[in-house]
Each structure stands twice: as C-alpha cells, then as structure tokens.
Amino acid sequence: MITYREANAFDLPVFVSLDKQLFPYSPWSASQYKEEFSSPTRHFVVALDEHQNILGYAGVFAPGAAEADILTVGVVPEHQGKGVAKALMALITDWAKAQGTTSMMLEVKTDNLEAIGLYESLGYLKLNTRKDYFGAGLDAQVMRLELL
Ligand SMILES: CC(C)(COP(=O)(O)OP(=O)(O)OC[C@H]1O[C@@H](n2cnc3c(N)ncnc32)[C@H](O)[C@@H]1OP(=O)(O)O)[C@@H](O)C(=O)NCCC(=O)NCCS
C-alpha cells in the first residue's frame, strides 16, 4: 500500500539521490534542499511503500495570497503510472490553497511529455516557453492552473 506524509529533514538524502536519477539535468544539492525545507513558504510531501521507502516526492512554494510555484514532482520509474504523482500534486495543491494561493505555476522541459500529460490531466494550461531555462538547449514550457 502506498501512503503519503509531509517530508522532513531525515528524507533529505533520499531527495538528493532521487533528484540525480530523475532530474539529471538540474538536480538540487543537499544545501539547496536544506534551505528549502527550512522555509515556511515551502511544503514537501513524500509517497512511501509498505517498507517506508520513499518512492515519490513533490514540493511547492506558496508565499501566501499569490501565485504558487511547483518546485518538484518525481516518482521512481518502478512506481510510475499508478497515480502517485497525481496524489502528490493534490496534497501540495491543497496545502497551497490553504495558504491563500489563487493559481499554480510551473516550468517543465518542453520534451517531458509524461510530465506535461500529468499537468494537463490536472487542468494546467500551456503558457509561454522559456529558452534555455534548464541549461543550454533545454527549453521550458510554462504552465498554469487557476484555482478560483
Ligand atoms: C512525470 C511523473 C512525475 C509522472 O508520475 P506518475 O506517478 O507516473 O504519474 P501518474 O501515474 O500520477 O499519472 C497522472 C497522469 O499523468 C499523465 N501521464 C502519466 N504518464 C504519462 C505518459 N507516459 N504519457 C502521457 N501522460 C502521462 C496521465 O494523464 C496520467 O493520468 P491518467 O493515468 O489518469 O491518464 C513521472 O513520470 C516522473 O517522475 N518523471 C521523471 C521526473 C519528472 O520529469 N518530473 C516532472 C518535472 S517537471
């Protein structure tokens, strides 16, 4: 059975290690995650298998009554396609709503069709693109969801 909870500092090494696997083009360092975890405007959640191993995670930046930014969402390949990302996105979106967020924004690599499919399935619309956002030749699709 897959369960979900808020992330904590003990999860940090797993985030760093999974980032290298899931986001080889832009992994976050331990110090970046440490800073993010300590901010009250950020919220991270994890999905766990029955042995309490992390199989997915997501994070959001919600500064209050404004736009929130999806910081990350990832699921290990063996557990993809089971609705885990959708559940993680629902948790961070609910948290952002509770902070007064009225819309959600994100940037996704233009060739990341799985992620774009996920966001479209949640109602996100494509806005503009940002050239070289993830590095040279790695453009981003900006997407947005109105919550009101
Ligand atoms: C993108 C990612 C998070 C999706 O995780 P997941 O747990 O497999 O997604 P879910 O099972 O919750 O699927 C939710 C929806 O996403 C879409 N989706 C998932 N996989 C897809 C695929 N291969 N192609 C197109 N759409 C897909 C579908 O609409 C799906 O809804 P449905 O099953 O009702 O049709 C996962 O592929 C991943 O971790 N990729 C690597 C990291 C990454 O790129 N993260 C996004 C960064 S912006």
pLDDT digits (tens, 9 = 90+) for 54-88: 999 999 999 988 899 999 999 999 999 999 999 99
pLDDT reading at 46 higher than 90:
yes
Pairing of strands 3-6, 42-48: antiparallel
pTM of the complete model: 0.96
Has residue 21 got a pLDDT over 90? Answer: yes
**Helix, strand, coil percentages in the chain from 3-state DSSP, rounded to 5:** 35, 30, 35
Q: Is the Cβ atom of 22 under 6 angstroms away from ligand 1?
A: yes
**For residue 70, which atom of ligand 1 is closest to its CA?**
48
Residue 144 pLDDT level (bands cut at 50, 70, 90): very high
Ligand 1 midpoint to CA 63 (Å): 26
Looking up tokens 């390949």 gives 77
- How far apart CA 122 and CA 115 sit, in angstroms, is 11
DSSP 26: S
CA of 86 to the centre of ligand 1 (A): 8
